[in-house]
Amino acid sequence: MTKRIPVILDGDPGHDDAIAWVLANASPLLDIKAVTSVCGNQTIQKTTYNAGRIMTLIDLNVPLAMGRVKPLVADPIIAPTVHGNSGLDGPALPEPKHKPVEQDACTLMAEVIEASEEPVALIPTGPLTNVAALLLLYPHLKPKIRHIYLMGGGIQYGNWTPAAEFNILVDPEAADIVFTSGVPITMAGLDVTEQALVFPEDFERIRAVGNPVAKVVAEWLDFFYGFHRSIGYPGAPVHDAVAVAALIRPDIMTMEDMYVAVETTGDYCRGATVGDRLGVLHRPANARVIMGIDREAFVDLLVEAATCYNKGGERA
């Protein structure tokens, strides 16, 4: 059996973050070393609480650390219209079994990376605040970061402004630090995540799996789709799970290497990820950008992940 890849999950759960973590925890390829929360979809208190509730649901017993209370420079932006007031509205969830550790997110990430024999992959599915802080404060650890698989940005369009996707818009300064860090990046932006649509009939496949985790995932999808249906989507775009899938099933995706700059100024374009697809800037590529996905294979992956949990909720 091949060695499992050590990973840190960093997110702002959030329904799609939660589903991404269910997927990561189900994969025999990954060894989750820690979970860190970031402010984004909701305040840091709420996303940390939600992270603890998800970890308890899926019996993920690793350290959880809380991120900074705000982005590096900007004021927080939250997304209650998408994820509800709790940041994870919908089904009832267990109370967190474990408290967050004393260290903040960035310190825990550094400790885990330092202690790991193998380079560690980071999977950020919220604003890049914690990852940027890690890169700024511990630059000597860069060689021990195997790869960053992030959900954020969009080469062709935004979702929170015409130019910017939510995670990048919330903390563009952090995103700029990450994209200029030299650490290998795979970007799951809106170009692909809006193709990663899970339709109501797919929810039923997941619900029919029947274990407690599968039932909750189906109810998260019901809630998450409620917002997206109201703005005309035929299904729920499970953005953050694409970042995990990029690590475990890259064969179901198409990708392009390119230079990606993050716009940190501007009246209309702050937070945009500007991808030089034509190579006119003559700069070396700093990101592998996912542009397409086999939607049905992605849904199958989520269904398979749901079947990995047993009746008590833990991984079978």
Binders of Ca ion among residues 16 to 55 (CB under 5 A) are: 17
**Cβ–Cβ contacts within 10 Å for residue 31, how many?**
16
Among Ca ion, ligand BDR, none, what does residue 84 contact (CB within 5–8 Å per kind)?
none
Cα 221 vs. chain centroid, distance in angstroms?
16
Binders of ligand BDR among residues 222 to 241 (CB under 6 A) are: 239-240
Binders of ligand BDR among residues 46 to 105 (CB under 6 A) are: 79, 82
Q: Which of 44/209 has CB closer to Ca ion?
A: 44
Q: Is 15 a catalytic residue?
A: no
CB contact at 8 A, 272 and 162: no
Give the binding range for ligand BDR (CB under 6 A) out of 138-146, 160-168, 205-213, 284-292. Answer: 160-168
Binders of ligand BDR among residues 278 to 307 (CB under 6 A) are: none
Give the binding range for ligand BDR (CB under 6 A) out of 2-10, 13-21, 116-124, 128-136. Answer: 13-21
Among ligand BDR, Ca ion, none, what does residue 165 contact (CB within 5–8 Å per kind)?
ligand BDR
Identified binder of Ca ion from the candidate list 14, 71, 84, 158, rule CB under 5 A: 14
**Cβ–Cβ contacts within 10 Å for residue 257, how many?**
12
Among ligand BDR, Ca ion, none, what does residue 159 contact (CB within 5–8 Å per kind)?
ligand BDR
Residue 241: CB partners within 8 Å, gap ≥ 6?
16, 19, 20, 23, 196, 298, 302
Among Ca ion, ligand BDR, none, what does residue 166 contact (CB within 5–8 Å per kind)?
ligand BDR
DSSP 8-state assignment for residue 271: T
Identified binder of ligand BDR from the candidate list 30, 37, 130, 165, rule CB under 6 A: 165
Strand segments (E) across the chain? 5-11, 30-37, 64-65, 120-124, 145-151, 185-188, 197-198, 236-237, 253-262, 273-276, 287-293
Q: What is the 3-state secondary structure (H, E, C) of 220-264?
A: HHHHHHHHHHHCCCCCEECHHHHHHHHHHCHHHEEEEEEEEEECC
Amino acid, single-letter form, for residue 200? P
Quote the least distance from Cβ 170 to Ca ion, whole Å: 10
CB contact at 8 A, 269 and 262: no
Binding site for ligand BDR (CB under 6 A): 14, 16-17, 41, 79, 82, 125-126, 151, 159, 165-167, 239-240
Binding site for Ca ion (CB under 5 A): 12, 14, 17, 125-126, 240
